[in-house]
Amino acid sequence: MTSGLASPTKPVKAAFSVCVYCGSRPGHAPEFAMMARQVGTWIGAQGGQLVFGGGHNGLMGIMADAALAAGARVVGVIPKALVEKEWAHNGCTELHIVENMHERKRIMAEHADAFLALPGGIGTLEEFFEVWTWRQLGYHDKPVGLLNLHGYYDGLLAFLASTVEQGFMSDWQMGLIRAGNDTVLLLQALVQAAGLTAPTVRLDQI
């Protein structure tokens, strides 16, 4: 792994660290970009750290820019092959350029206290399902969340419920994820479930 540091200063210990998976596209509805800004701003406003896939475009870039503007430490992790495709975010506090996707996901997970999936495409879904699978297998005990803005994940959640009904999953597995459509409440719940502290802050305060 090679690593580029955006600042030579000594890192400040963050109150918590949230790994966020989200789209490298912005989506059609403007609310998706607004949600990404809220997530980044909230993490920074609470003295937290954002860990993400290191891209500068789509929801990833919007969220990272907002987090940096709010004073968050931002750790980006991106494979060499995707640096050009995703326009690696060189403004990150810490940018890791790695060899492959497996190393990317491992490092992101190691840097996180909790995981959150925002709307996104196949990459976001793959990362979400993997970290959920790791949780059920006991590879980690960190909380996993799904931000269901505009009912984006309604169909997915309905399908997952059907897998329980058909006997391929159990209720306890579904209980390992927290789904919600309120950005602040879900982030607070994830941080608190990780055994850390996040103040109660309304969206109109950030």
pLDDT at residue number 197:
73
pLDDT at residue number 5:
42
pLDDT at residue number 85:
74
Q: pLDDT per position in the chain (206 positions), as tens? A: 444 444 334 456 899 999 999 999 999 999 999 999 999 999 999 999 999 999 999 999 999 999 999 999 999 999 998 887 768 999 999 999 999 999 999 999 999 999 999 999 999 999 999 999 999 999 999 999 999 999 999 999 999 999 999 999 999 999 999 999 999 999 999 999 999 876 555 555 55
Third-level CATH fold of 116-194: Rossmann fold (3.40.50)
83: its two tokens: 């640096």
Pick the CATH number of 1-6+23-112 from 3.40.50.450, 3.40.50.300, 3.40.630.30, 3.50.50.60: 3.40.50.450
pLDDT at residue number 7:
39
Instruction: Give the angle subtended at the CA of 170 by the CAs of 166 and 174, to the nearest 5°.
Output: 110
Q: Residue 190: what residue type?
A: L
Helix axes 58-69, 30-45, angle to 10 degrees: 30
- What's the residue count for the chain? 206
pLDDT at residue number 82:
87
Q: Do domains 1-6+23-112 and 116-194 have the same CATH topology?
A: yes
CA–CA gap between residue 198 and residue 124 (Å, rounded): 25
pLDDT at residue number 202:
55
DSSP, collapsed to helix, strand or coil, labels residue 169 as coil
pLDDT at residue number 83:
86
Parse the chain into domains and list their residue ranges: 1-6+23-112, 116-194
167: its two tokens: 């006997």
